[in-house]
Every structure is written in C-alpha cells, then in structure tokens.
Amino acid sequence: MAVGKGVLTTCNYHARKYGCRSGMAGFVAMKLCPQLICLPLNFEKYTKKAQEVREVLAQYDPRFQSASMDEAYLNITQYCADYEMNPDEVVSQLRTQVFERAKITVSAGIAANARIAKIASNRNKPNGQFRVASDRATILAFMQNLATRKVNGVGRVFERELDAIGVKTCGDIYAQRALLSKIFGEKAFHFLMQVHLGLGHTSVRPAEEYERKSVGTESTFRDMSGKEELRAKLRWIAEELEKDLARTQHKGRTLVLKLKLHTYEVLTRQVVPPKAVSTADDLYTYALPMFQKLEREIPSMRLRLMGLRCTHLVSTKKEDVDFFGLKRSLPSSTNTPSSNNQRTPADATGQEWEVWPEDEFETAAREERQQEFDQLEKFSQEYEDNEPSTNDQSTTRSQQKASEEADRRRRGNQTDIPAYPKKEYRSDNNNTTPRNRRSDGDENNQTWHCPICTRPQIASDRDFNQHVDYCLSRSTIREAVERTGEEDLPANGDGVSSAAGGGEKMMS
C-alpha cells in the first residue's frame, strides 16, 4: 500500500520489499509491485493526527522542535529529573501514550544530541526505540562503522564523492582528513569531522524561533503541456506563495522558479527583482519571463512539477517602536530570545552557549576570500618585479592586460577605474632603476617607497602621485568587494553545531 497517485509520498514496509519508496513515480512503483494499492492524499487527516501527536509531545517538552509533520525533537532531560525516570522508560511511555491517543505507532532514538538521535530513530523501525549511551567511547564506536549515507546531510552525490576517496563509513573520515578540506572546502571539512566525532546540536527549541531562510511552494501533477494551462498553474502557485509569505510575514529579494519535466529532469531559474516581492501579482510578473524563456529553449515542454520560492527574505513584522520611530527597549528582566539569534557568552548558570557553526563557516569563507585576494595581489606584484627583458615587453604587456581583465572579472566589476601606467623596473646589482627614464649608468637614482604597497617608485611628483592613486583605488575596490560579499553572503541553514551538553535527546 502506498499514498499518492502521480508520485508516492510514502508506502508501507510490505511495498518497500518490492523496491517502492517515497518520491518514486507512481507508474514505476506499479511496475515493481503490480498489486500495489495507491491511496489519494488527505492532508486534512494528516494535519489532524499530527496535532494529536504534538499535544502528547508537549507534555514531555513544551518547547519541542517540530522538524516536519511526522518528525520532532524533544529534550527530555528535565522530565527525567522531575519524575525520576530513565530515558528508556520515558520514551516507552511516550510512545504508548501516542498510540492510545492517535492510534499511530512511532519510532524513537535516544542520544546525547539531535544528530545521533535522528540516526538511532531508524534502527528499530517500525514501532521501536534505540538508545545510544552518552559516554564518548560509546558514541565513537556507534559512528565508527556507520555508513556515511545514514547521516542527515549526506546525499547520494556527496556519498559517491566520499566513496571515491575511500570514505565509506564515518570511521574512515579521520584517516582521509588531509584531503577533505582541499577537495570539499572548509565548511564540509568541519561538518565531516563533527560527524566522525558524533557531535551535533543539543539545543531544542520551537521551529518558529529559528531564522527562516526561504519560503516556497510547489505542486506535483500529471503531465501538463498546454500553454494556457501551465500559465494558470503558475498563477495559482504565485497565489499560494503569497499566502505563505503573508503567514510568515516575509518578502523575498530573490525569486526562484523550479520546474520538473516529464523526463524527471529538474530545472531552476532565479531572478532578483528591483524590490522585495510578496504579492501574487509581483510573483507572477517576475516568474513569467523566466518561464517563457524556458518555453523557447524547450519546445513542446511537458511538466509534472512547478514551484516558486523566495530567498534572501525581508521581515515585514512591525517593530515595537514609539511615536518618534525609536525602538522601545525591553525590560532587563525579559528573557525573550533575540530576533537575530545572537547569544551572550554565558547564561545565568555560568554555562557557555554551544557554538553555532553557521557564523563560523561564514567567517571562514570571508577569511578564505580575503586570503585568496591577498595571494593574487602578491603574485601580481611578484610577476611585475620579475618582468623579462625589453625584447619580451610587448608579450608581457598583453599578458598584463589579460591578467588585469581577469582580475576585474573576478572582483565582479564592482568599480571600473582607469589603469594608471605602471612603472617598469629591473634589478641590477640590487639597485632598482626605472626603464626608459634614465641611463643604465645612473646607479644613484633616487627612489621613493609607496606607503601603500611599499614598492620603490621613481622620485617624480607626478608619477609617484599617480601610483599612490592607483594603489588607493585598488584598496577601495577591495573594501567594496568585501562589503558586497558580506551583504550578499547567504546564511547557511544546513550547518551543524558542537555538542556542549550531556542531556538526553529524543527524536520520534
């Protein structure tokens, strides 16, 4: 038995024995299992049952985190202490209570952090529970032979890339640590090392308190190719997205169009409107040109999925301001979390907050970009210092122009400044003299050192001022690129965090 007609949203364990799975096309599932029974979707019933389950979960942790309609994280540390029960007893009692209330069986994982709890919840399915002890040795042993694909965040492509360098299990990560940052980057390196050590975030809070990264909606349907029919579907999706944006109180600076062809090929296009958008009219207006362009590129286009998503969100919530437009300060005793999720170094008990890696990874990315910029500048200066003889001057100048053009493209053409003529020098017996300026016999030629790049320049007011202007312009461009990069850098919502606590976590 399965749910969903065009695409399966889920299926029972009997159907999975035949190879059926969620996300599979309905006709493919029917070929694998001809006796498969596909039920239509009933979101009203799912929402009602999910609410019944959440009412039970709230009794054990009022601030539980709902990851989806059928998945949640709870911190049961306080409940265990209040009722003097061990975690296994608490989770067993919770599962029994859920079944009595909603007639639904649940599987659960118990561990010291959310990542291991998520993995453990799949160990004793269906209708079971599994606990990983909180001591370091047990956690490392649990992760040692765990396949990388079992970790939330490692998909099919990433699994194949890791397998190519000999990383098949989480225990193999440490042996290949020297290659990880070089191949996948620093962010992936930190993520994989935390996976190897079994680290994960230990704070559990309602999803509403997390900063939202995007708002989107999409619809799956039978093959559709009519021009008017597809535009009507696009308009309907824009109207649905408008409702979601109004509910979450956001506008989007970037609009993303997602299409899935009848061949199951997924296409995405995005546009940056001149203003943040939230209304159905604006969403449809800016999405339609992207859709029309794809229609021209793919004649007789047939779709089975269409979606719109807004990213780089802008909140439309009204701030608490006074008559003069100044934000009212909250009383010092207020314990409400900050809207920007900033954390103080320590809480009232003196315990430090766990480190959130999103900020660390963004900082590391900026540092890497700065280091790359500095290295390129250094290489450029060394290249000019080691210029060949005059016979190769024309070739060198053409290479310089190509290098400068590539450098401007790399910086995004943020600012276009005139390229002042650079002074050419050669080194003879450690005495630097400008070419085509003085005779080679004038070894006592005076030079001035540029205060920006510290390189020697010919002692000429006009030439020296031009060189300083050029150096200052390069510094200005660099600062502009850094500011632009910091403003446009999207927040990383798929990071992981260091485990700082030892409380039991339950995921069901």
CA 386 distance to own-chain centroid: 42
User: For 299, left (φ over 0), alpha (ψ -120 to 50), or beta?
Assistant: beta
Task: Judge whether 358 counts as a catalytic residue.
Answer: no
What's the chain's Rg over C-alpha atoms? 30
Could you check whether the bond before residue 337 is cis, i.e. omega within 30 degrees of 0?
A: no
Separation between Cα atoms, residue 359 and residue 365, nearest integer Å? 10
**Residue entry with tokens 């990560």:** 173
The answer to whether the bond into 388 is cis (omega within 30° of 0) is no
314 φ/ψ angles, rounded to the nearest 5 degrees: -125, 125
Residue whose C-alpha is closest to residue 194's, from 498, 507, 508, 432 = 498
Whole-number Å distance between alpha carbons of 269 and 290 = 7
DSSP assignment of 260-283, as one string? EETT--EEEEEE--SS-B-SHHHH
Q: Are 114 and 498 in contact (CB under 8 A)?
A: no
- The Cα–Cα gap between 480 and 478 comes to 5
Residue 481: strand, helix, or coil: helix
Paired tokens of 287: 């999405």
**Residue 9 contacts residue 1 (beta carbons within 8 Å):** no
Q: Which residues pair with 288 in a beta bridge?
A: none
Strand-strand pairing, 10-11 and 2-3 = antiparallel
The closest alpha carbon to 217, from 250, 190, 244, 183, belongs to 244
In this structure, are residues 111 and 117 in contact, taking their beta carbons and an 8 Å threshold?
yes
Sign of CA dihedral 316, 318, 323, 325: negative
| 8 A C-beta contact, residue 483 and residue 304 | no
Tokens of 335: 């314990």
Contacts of 369 (CB under 8 A, 6+ apart): 482, 485
52, 55, 71, 159: the active-site residue:
71
- 8 Å CB contact between 118 and 152: yes
β 425-428/250-261 pair status: unpaired
Please compute, for residue 270, the number of CA atoms within 13 A of its CA located in the half-sphere on the CB side.
11
Taking each helix axis as running N to C, give the angle between helix 186-197 and helix 357-385, from 0 to 180 degrees, rounded to the nearest 10.
Answer: 140
- Residues annotated catalytic, as ranges: 71
